[in-house]
Amino acid sequence: MEILRTPDARFASLPGYPFEPHYTEVPAGDGQSLRIHHVDEGSADAPTILCMHGQPSWSYLYRHMIPILVEAGYRVLAPDLVGYGRSDKPGALEDYTYQRQVDWMTAWLTANDVRDATFFGQDWGGLIGLRMVAENPERFARVAIANTGIPLPKNLPADRVAATKELRKTMPTPTPEIMAQNLSNPNPDAPEQAFAYWQRFCWDNEDLPLGLLIAGTVDGRQLSAEEIAAYDAPFPDPRYKMGTRAMPSQVPTLPDDPSIPANEKAWEVFSRWEKPFLCAFSDNDPVTRGGDQPFLDRVPGAKGQPHKTIHGGGHFLQEARGQELAETIAAFITSAPPT
């Protein structure tokens, strides 16, 4: 495995991100090790909130929320997934799988001995983090999520599965406009095909415009040129972007996906989860709209919690609704002591 490491100079003087870096070495799985970066703010004795980001962002996404949560009396841990932010970046597309990301972050979790934490995850931060929580439930006091899920596409008809696989193989590289149009307006007869356009767009573009992609999914706030550049900072050239290109194709959207059994096991855990569980999804994310309902229906700990639909914000609601989201999480912790 070729492992790339972004030079520290790329992270100097990023707007709104004054946090000191912290690093943990974890096994890469091939005899090497990977260095995972995390933010650690607040008193070490304070209740811990673990915030996990998704694709194609990094812990910079939480810069608005971290000071609010620290001021409220919490310790905030915000790691960068492998392939993102200040964490190491394997250099080949095949290095990245759903299971490897879960394994790497679980190794980080145990190495840092995180305990009695409140988990918060969005996008891939939820897909990976919820699996991690399900495998280590004793380390978590409660869970909050936004715009994420544990995909379990088990009941698609065979003809739709075949059509989606054919579309993945034969579609030309979609333009940003075509990709966005299909995500926002999926075919009602085959909604599973919409995400294939995002998967193909990321897979085919060696030099993804990551900062612009994030800016384009934020509703209610315009990112500055400096903030867009900060989202691009971890990726000096296209070689560093393999993780951002590979991970969309690891989202299980068809019933024969190799991650389905592990996701089923995670759902078994959450179907018995009695600890407090909060959903705070935005109302205008085309990718995850309605994704809170399975958790509200199936997780015992979700009953009676102060779930909130956040109006606006788009997919990366941490940008436009960071204060509201942070205050929602803090209020949830106060109102939901560990069971």
**Predicted confidence (pLDDT) per residue in 265-286, tens digit:** 999 999 999 999 999 999 999 8
Least confident of 181-185, 258-262, 290-294: 181-185
How many angstroms separate the CA atoms of 272 and 262, rounded?
A: 16
CATH class assigned to 3-152+256-335:
alpha beta
> What pLDDT does 26 receive?
98
Confidence band (pLDDT; 50, 70, 90) for 339? low
Q: What per-residue string of b and e applies to 318-331 under the rule 16 or more CB within 10 Å gives b? A: bbbbbebbbbbbbe
Residue 42 DSSP symbol: S
Average pLDDT over residues 50-75: 98
Average pLDDT over residues 128-146: 98
Confidence band (pLDDT; 50, 70, 90) for 138? very high
> What pLDDT does 109 receive?
98
Confidence band (pLDDT; 50, 70, 90) for 32? very high
How many angstroms separate the CA atoms of 310 and 164, rounded?
A: 32
Helix, strand, coil percent values for the chain (each to nearest 5): 45, 15, 40
Residue 310 DSSP symbol: B
199-234 residue pLDDT tens:
999 999 999 999 999 999 999 899 999 999 999 999
Cα 213 from chain centroid? 15
Instruction: List the catalytic residues.
Output: 123, 285, 315
Average pLDDT over residues 312-317: 95
Residue 56 DSSP symbol: T
Confidence band (pLDDT; 50, 70, 90) for 184? confident
Judge residue 121's burial from the number of C-beta atoms within 10 Å of its C-beta, 0-12 exposed, 13-18 middle, 19 or more buried.
buried
> What pLDDT does 338 receive?
66
Are 121 and 149 spatial neighbours (Cβ–Cβ below 8 Å)?
no
Alpha helix stretches (DSSP H) within the chain: 65-71, 98-111, 124-135, 158-170, 176-184, 194-204, 210-216, 225-232, 242-246, 260-270, 293-298, 317-320, 322-335
For all residues of the chain together, what is the average pLDDT?
A: 96
Which residues, other chains included, contact 201 with Cβ-Cβ below 8 Å and sequence gap of 6+? 173, 174, 176, 179
Are 299 and 130 spatial neighbours (Cβ–Cβ below 8 Å)?
no
The segment(s) of the chain belonging to CATH 3.40.50.1820 are 3-152+256-335
Which residues, other chains included, contact 111 with Cβ-Cβ below 8 Å and sequence gap of 6+? 24, 25, 26
User: Residues, the chain, total?
Assistant: 339
- Residue from 92, 94, 96 nearest 81 by CA: 96
How many angstroms separate the CA atoms of 63 and 67, rounded?
A: 7
How many angstroms separate the CA atoms of 85 and 91, rounded?
A: 14
Average pLDDT over residues 52-65: 98
Which residues, other chains included, contact 331 with Cβ-Cβ below 8 Å and sequence gap of 6+? 306
> pTM for this structure?
0.96
Average pLDDT over residues 330-335: 95
Please give the full DSSP string across 188-242, using - where no structure is assigned.
TT-GGGHHHHHHHHHHH-TT--HHHHHHHTEES-PPPHHHHHHHHTT-SSGGGGH
